[in-house]
Chain A
């Protein structure tokens, strides 16, 4: 079996984001980058599957040299091979990412392709579906449970007010959601072992964005909270503030 997991590098969720001078991208100075947290579920699922059934595992990332860090993290968790689809900048849209990933995945010809359901930087939720479409295979996103049968996967998704159970043939693209598994902390042995795992670098073959970012803005900052200190006596004032100032009741 061959498993591909696509990983992305995103700003650490505790980082304070600044917009750079061009007004279209973030200022990366002083920002620490981490593997996209949802990709950790995808990596964990790949590694667990490998441990159960035996598989060749690949982590693929698209982007500049720094994206190697996401692959290294996947290595530390137990993925064996890495491919970086190398670009000069990070200013590419989902379509370009999907197109390049699909191209690389085609060469590997895997049985299952895992993604995190979305990356926490642009929150597009689009790449897994696009890759499935470009490869002409089924794709299911936001998956919280997987049962592996012979050439058939039974998947669960949480939907409004309930659960949806889907079966799909393989190969298939699966986007992983929190709850699917508990991503492991890498232990020191696997970290040491990861240092000798190879990353294959290839140039991006497609760069014709379908969309362009024209402007980026930070959300307006929230005002300071109010604390009412008189206990029960504050209730009328609280109701008044909720109704007339916050306008929520």
Chain B
């Protein structure tokens, strides 16, 4: 159904983007064949690194005409295989479009190209006392464009929301090569269907985002972190909802079970306090009044005492705060290093978290598999890493094929969904119908066809047409 890239098509592409930015060698094909999803690899036929919107428009016109699949790629840190070129074709890497175009200090807005690394964008804002709060774990290497494509979250979502809550306007190139301007740089806007939000989280299947304007807030002056240790994992997770019910609004509330902490400790070659506890919560408060923050942490500690917390330690200096956060950030990577794994990105209303955790543990016990759980407890987002450990390939295949749908069905029964922030991409599409009505999936497919009638843009993602 797709055409391969003939010499003639290649010549056309070289007219658009300087050949220096077109890669076809095996070394680079290997690099661009993977992201952070399991050990999956799909090789593109060619990697193109365009430098402007108009180049992208021309490339898409060519690809659309010849029916060549185009897979857009940001920092390559995705966890559901969104940037894997499953049908080969063109890997369209946005890495050269990495300029911050404007920081509007009067209106608290930033306009950037999609290839800006999220942490770079954040620190440019912070230098000016402005704050872009969305803080995905991969912020040091992921791109802001990829964040929009996946509607990335991260730990601060509990107070500040996710990527979708900060996008004012975008420029998008359609598979036809047409360039759209969606949204306005105002805080309010009701003018027809909200296509901006349709593009956000569409995982690169509807258009290529080429310019982004985000709203910002003022940078809070202070933050403090507490690490609360519990000897009972269920009491730990049950205390989460209570913290909110008492009127507290933490800027992050993260859950880590012992295996997650132990693995991260080993990864960092560092010992943290209370790491033998069955589970811990990392609680962060930010704001402009240090005493209020301290009082909030104190309240949090009192609540945790009711749930038999064993100890509460605190970090106030930047370096100590970072040290504790580095533990949390190391969890994801280190857990993925110990074994072949599958990661599920479940999300439920946070009051149902204990039910989810109990259910997941039961399902794992039933099938004899090990799972390490951690995640953004404050917003009900629990990452479940299922580990192959010593299982044979057949056992692994068989057990995960049974256990994962059960975990997802449980998630949906609890009022949640199968992906909080990683997206459906390639690896989760077979489960989409567990969480989304058939008619809704049908509508999504119709929308896809309107945007991309030839199905050239990131084919094989979210659903099969």
Q: Does A188 contact B (CB under 8 A)?
A: yes
CB 8 Å contact bits of A169-186 with B (1 = contact, 0 = none): 000000000000010111
B98 to A: closest C-beta gap in Å:
13
CB 8 Å contact bits of A228-240 with B (1 = contact, 0 = none): 0001000000000
> Which B209-265 residues have a C-beta within 8 angstroms of A?
226-227
Q: Is the CB of A191 within 8 A of B314?
A: yes
A180 to B: closest C-beta gap in Å:
15
Residue of A nearest to B273 (CB): A185
Q: Does B319 contact A (CB under 8 A)?
A: yes
Question: In the complex, which of the residues B298, B315, B317 contacts A12, with contact meaning CB atoms closer than 8 Å?
Answer: B317
Q: Is the CB of A188 within 8 A of B318?
A: no
Cβ of B298: which chain A residues have Cβ within 8 Å of it?
188, 192
Residue of B nearest to A188 (CB): B312
Q: Does B292 contact A (CB under 8 A)?
A: no
Cβ of A34: which chain B residues have Cβ within 8 Å of it?
317-319
> Which A172-216 residues have a C-beta within 8 angstroms of B?
182, 184-189, 191-192
When chains A and B are docked, how far (Å) is the Cα of A45 from the Cα of B10? 68
Q: Is the CB of B318 within 8 A of A12?
A: yes
When chains A and B are docked, how far (Å) is the Cα of A191 from the Cα of B273? 16
Interface size on A, residues (CB 8 A): 17
Cβ of B317: which chain A residues have Cβ within 8 Å of it?
12, 32, 34-35
B272 to A: closest C-beta gap in Å:
8
CB 8 Å contact bits of B285-297 with A (1 = contact, 0 = none): 0000000000001
Cβ of A13: which chain B residues have Cβ within 8 Å of it?
318-319
Cβ of A191: which chain B residues have Cβ within 8 Å of it?
314
Residue of A nearest to B127 (CB): A16
Q: Does B27 contact A (CB under 8 A)?
A: yes
When chains A and B are docked, how far (Å) is the Cα of A182 from the Cα of B27? 44
B328 to A: closest C-beta gap in Å:
14
Cβ of A189: which chain B residues have Cβ within 8 Å of it?
312
Q: Is the CB of A185 within 8 A of B318?
A: no
Q: Does B301 contact A (CB under 8 A)?
A: yes
A181 to B: closest C-beta gap in Å:
12
Q: For this complex, into which size category does the number of interface residues on chain B fall?
A: 10 to 19
Q: Is the CB of A14 within 8 A of B319?
A: yes
Residue of A nearest to B229 (CB): A187
Q: Does B313 contact A (CB under 8 A)?
A: yes
Residue of A nearest to B28 (CB): A231
Q: Does A37 contact B (CB under 8 A)?
A: yes
Q: Is the CB of B313 within 8 A of A186?
A: yes
Q: Is the CB of A188 within 8 A of B319?
A: no
Q: Does B449 contact A (CB under 8 A)?
A: no
> Which A14-36 residues have a C-beta within 8 angstroms of B?
14, 32, 34-35
Residue of A nearest to B312 (CB): A188
Residue of B nearest to A16 (CB): B127
Question: In the complex, which of the residues B301, B315, B322 contacts A185, with contact meaning CB atoms closer than 8 Å?
Answer: B315
Q: Is the CB of B271 within 8 A of A188?
A: no
Q: Does B406 contact A (CB under 8 A)?
A: no
When chains A and B are docked, how far (Å) is the Cα of A195 from the Cα of B313? 16
When chains A and B are docked, how far (Å) is the Cα of A21 from the Cα of B233? 55
When chains A and B are docked, how far (Å) is the Cα of A71 from the Cα of B1? 73
Q: Is the CB of A188 within 8 A of B297?
A: yes
When chains A and B are docked, how far (Å) is the Cα of A35 from the Cα of B315? 13
Cβ of A185: which chain B residues have Cβ within 8 Å of it?
227, 273, 313-315, 320
Cβ of B124: which chain A residues have Cβ within 8 Å of it?
none
B371 to A: closest C-beta gap in Å:
29
Residue of A nearest to B311 (CB): A187
Cβ of B271: which chain A residues have Cβ within 8 Å of it?
182
Residue of B nearest to A186 (CB): B314
Cβ of A188: which chain B residues have Cβ within 8 Å of it?
226, 297-298, 301, 312-314
Cβ of B320: which chain A residues have Cβ within 8 Å of it?
185
Most buried by B among A37, A185, A231: A185
A80 to B: closest C-beta gap in Å:
19
Q: Is the CB of A32 within 8 A of B313?
A: no
Cβ of B226: which chain A residues have Cβ within 8 Å of it?
188
B174 to A: closest C-beta gap in Å:
31
B323 to A: closest C-beta gap in Å:
9
B12 to A: closest C-beta gap in Å:
25
Residue of B nearest to A14 (CB): B318
Residue of A nearest to B222 (CB): A32
B22 to A: closest C-beta gap in Å:
13
Residue of B nearest to A76 (CB): B314
Q: Is the CB of B319 within 8 A of A37?
A: yes
When chains A and B are docked, how far (Å) is the Cα of A51 from the Cα of B273? 18
Cβ of B312: which chain A residues have Cβ within 8 Å of it?
187-189
Residue of A nearest to B23 (CB): A229
Residue of B nearest to A182 (CB): B271
Cβ of A37: which chain B residues have Cβ within 8 Å of it?
319
Cβ of B318: which chain A residues have Cβ within 8 Å of it?
12-14, 32, 34
Residue of A nearest to B300 (CB): A188
Most buried by B among A34, A186, A188: A188
Cβ of A231: which chain B residues have Cβ within 8 Å of it?
27
A82 to B: closest C-beta gap in Å:
18
A41 to B: closest C-beta gap in Å:
14
Residue of B nearest to A191 (CB): B314
Cβ of B319: which chain A residues have Cβ within 8 Å of it?
12-14, 34, 37
Known: A187-B273, A188-B312. 15 other contacts (CB 8 A): A14-B318, A34-B317, A37-B319, A182-B271, A184-B273, A185-B227, A185-B273, A185-B313, A185-B320, A186-B313, A188-B226, A188-B298, A188-B301, A188-B314, A191-B314
Question: What are 18 A-to-B residue pairs whose CB atoms are below 8 Å?
Answer: A12-B317, A12-B319, A32-B317, A32-B318, A34-B318, A35-B317, A184-B313, A185-B227, A185-B273, A185-B313, A185-B320, A186-B313, A187-B312, A187-B314, A188-B301, A188-B313, A192-B298, A231-B27
Residues of B within 8 A of A (CB): 27, 226-227, 271, 273, 297-298, 301, 311-315, 317-320, 322
